[in-house]
Structure 1
Amino acid sequence: ISSNKSIIQLTKSQENFWGIFYKYSYDLKQKVKERLEIKNSNGSIKVYLNLKNTGFDLENYLKKDI
Structure 2
Amino acid sequence: MTVVQDKIPPTINLEAPDPACDLDYVPLHSRTQRVEVALSNSFGFGGHNVALAFKKFEE
Pair in the same fold by TM > 0.5: no
Normalised TM-score (structure 1):
0.25
Q: Which has the higher strand share?
A: 1
